[in-house]
Structure 1
Amino acid sequence: MKHAYVFPGQGAQAVGMGKDLYDAVPRARELFERANEILGFRITDIMFAGTDEELKQTRVTQPAVFLHSVVLAEALGVRPDATAGHSLGEFSALVVAGALSFEDGLRLVAKRAAAMQQACEAQPGAMAAILGLEDGAVEQTCDAIDGVVVAANYNCPGQLVISGASEAVDAACERLKAAGARRALRLPVGGAFHSPLMEPARQELQRAIEEAPFRTPSCPVYQNVDAEPHTDPATIKANLIAQLTAPVRWTQIVKRMLADGITEFTELGPGSVLQGLIRKVDPQAVVESKSTL
């Protein structure tokens, strides 16, 4: 039996996340306090007792979700046969697989969050969830729209998120509804993640990723950009750099993991979004989500 651990991305956060770990596990408390030092502010105060608004800031959300996932994995002592993460969650997957240290992973996540925030402010954009259409139909519609709008998150069959300039996203939503989409729903996000509008953030993050010391992971990490399993540090870095402007191929990752003989999935971190998506890819999949010990 092969067991994969998967990690959620931005949007899974909730106030109170990780507090039970901090209170119950000395090693978890040590990691959380180390994170406060590295980040230069007490992220634990916002995670454990902040407001939803405070926690929704990209510079807080991304490190918070990463921390909850990685500290929980450490507390549980997991030994994965494979890992993967959705967008931001790929950093959690790399740390848990041993490709990056906790400290280096957190520093990269903090830089990624800051770079994405800057890109959003420089060029505002939008994202929308499209439900009930084939991926190909969504892709064709996006291609036919004037302006920047692309397929950004392949979440599960019949659920694809598009991303780009606000007007282009709105135009695509109208056209997709006319083409039979069950829903075309604007998402409450700060910008056009996983689209060409994130190019300034990709450039900003590139040097930090290139300079970070990556190691060969203890198991394959299935990466967002190509949905393939990787263990070569140079390839992992290149894919991670490309990730900000490329789509998240989650549907394809799950299908590839199943084809490669993964029999069980555990989602670690806040929420249970990935558990639901995996079941939509394969209703027979053995999957659980854990946000606490």
Structure 2
Amino acid sequence: MLCYLFPGQGTVRVGMGAWLRRGQAARRCLDQVDALLTRPISPLCARGPLDALVATEHAQIAVTACNLAALTVLAEEGYEPAVVAGHSVGELSALHAAGVLDLAGTVRLVEVRARLMAGVAASGGMRAVMGLPVEQVELFAAEASEPGEPVVVGLENAPGHVVVSGSPPALDRLAKLAADAGAGKIVPLQVGDAFHSPLMAGAERAWAAAVAAAPMREPRVPVIPNVTGEPTTDLAVLRHALVAQLTGRVRWTRTMEAIAPVPPDGEAGTVSGAEPGTGPDTGSGAASEPVSVVEVGDSKVLAGLARRAGVRCLSMADPTTLRRLAKAVAA
């Protein structure tokens, strides 16, 4: 069984998507995305400048365009996922892959989301805390928060890889607590604001209205929302989770556990060349099937996070992936 993972905003770089434009189907998809946007994103992806590309209003659109084009490559090869998930804004790409949103609806929602999040008046930031369990970081976040200056765990990316999100003074207090506790590394992230935190609440009402108005269909395959980390085919749950995700936590570690649960002998899910784990219980017997996991986009970030969680993941940004995937599926 195939599991598709779609990367999010933190994977943008100048030159992204160039390899996708070498293929006719992917190039056609990128051109369609450009035509649907208020302003085409391909020139910015190709030439930058970087400070404009990483801005929230552009980054979310850029990464989605590459996700959708990479998905087109896989579809052209005849592959279909059995379960999908997306990291942060990547969840919208996952909903498209599951048949919930069509291409135009996906692009429209991503553009709205990017604009709303970029327009939030609150000033905040995010930092990665490495080497500490999430439970310890949660305690530090509670201690560092003060009225009007919150900080929360925004993303559980992998064991020992937690991202906190909040106001700058609270982030400074938390960083000191973590450093005093011997955290391996604390890294400020180059993002526009405190995503997946209460500081995004200013965009929530308009985002909820946009999600409610968007035409959606029942998913063809299970989707794992960020805020639950559990596979579902319930469209009402998916709509609610898409709204809650704006201020809620990305539970990516739980998502990896749902995709490739650790079997009794201890090794998590794998792909080509190794004994595979088993996939999530989708209600149709899929839990007994081997799982091959693919990061669908122009990024290797999720493949790296998956390795930290004990899950082997191919990346479409690797030119050998289609060959390796064919071998894994044949096996």
For the aligned pair, the TM-score class normalised by the smaller chain equals: over 0.9
Q: How does 1:110-259 map to 2 (within 5 A)?
A: 110-119=111-120, 122-145=121-144, 146=146, 147-259=149-261
Please name the residue that 1:274 is paired with. 302
Q: Give how far 1:263 is off.
A: 2.1
CA distance in 1, matches of 2:43, 2:214: 28
Whether the 8 Å CA contact 1:265–1:288 is kept in 2: the answer is: yes
Identity score, percent: 37
Q: Give how far 1:204 is off.
A: 1.8
CA root-mean-square deviation? 1.4
Q: Secondary structure at the match of 1:213?
A: coil
In terms of mean alpha carbon deviation, does 126-135 or 254-263 score higher? 254-263
Q: Secondary structure at the match of 1:244?
A: coil
Q: Give how far 1:155 is off.
A: 0.5
Judged with a 3 Å threshold, the aligned counterparts in structure 2 of structure 1 residues 50 and 5 are, in CA distance, closer, same or farther, namely same
2:48 corresponds to 1:50: yes
Residue identity opposite 2:237 in structure 1: T
Please name the residue that 1:263 is paired with. 291
CA distance in 2, matches of 1:24, 1:138: 44
Whether the 8 Å CA contact 1:69–1:268 is kept in 2: the answer is: yes
Q: What TM-score do the two structures reach when normalised by structure 2?
A: 0.83
Q: What TM-score do the two structures reach when normalised by structure 1?
A: 0.94
Deviations 1:49-108 (A, max 9, x none): 222122112111101101101111112213001100110111111111111111101110
User: If you compute each CA radius of gyration, which structure gives the higher value, 1 or 2?
Assistant: 2
Residue identity opposite 1:265 in structure 2: V
* Runs of 5+ consecutive residues of structure 2 not aligned to the other structure: 262-279, 281-286, 323-331
CA distance in 1, matches of 2:154, 2:191: 13
Q: Give how far 1:31 is off.
A: 2.5
Q: Give how far 1:217 is off.
A: 1.3
CA distance in 1, matches of 2:150, 2:157: 20
Please name the residue that 1:290 is paired with. 316
Q: How does 1:63-102 map to 2 (within 5 A)?
A: 63-77=61-75, 78-102=79-103
Q: Secondary structure at the match of 2:187?
A: strand
Length, aligned pairs only: 287
Whether the 8 Å CA contact 1:165–1:192 is kept in 2: the answer is: yes
In terms of mean alpha carbon deviation, does 31-40 or 192-201 score higher? 31-40
Residue identity opposite 1:110 in structure 2: E
* Runs of 5+ consecutive residues of structure 1 not aligned to the other structure: none
Q: Give how far 1:215 is off.
A: 0.9
Q: Give how far 1:30 is off.
A: 3.0
Whether the 8 Å CA contact 1:215–1:233 is kept in 2: the answer is: yes
CA distance in 2, matches of 1:286, 1:193: 28
Q: Secondary structure at the match of 1:141?
A: helix
Q: Secondary structure at the match of 1:72?
A: helix
CA distance in 2, matches of 1:278, 1:23: 28
Residue identity opposite 1:116 in structure 2: M
Please name the residue that 1:18 is paired with. 17
Counting helix residues as a fraction of each chain, which structure ranks higher?
Answer: 1
Whether the 8 Å CA contact 1:142–1:149 is kept in 2: the answer is: yes
Q: Give how far 1:141 is off.
A: 1.1
Q: 1:40 aligns with which of 7, 29, 38?
A: 38
Residue identity opposite 1:136 in structure 2: E
CA distance in 2, matches of 1:106, 1:252: 27
Q: Give how far 1:178 is off.
A: 0.8
Residue identity opposite 1:46 in structure 2: L
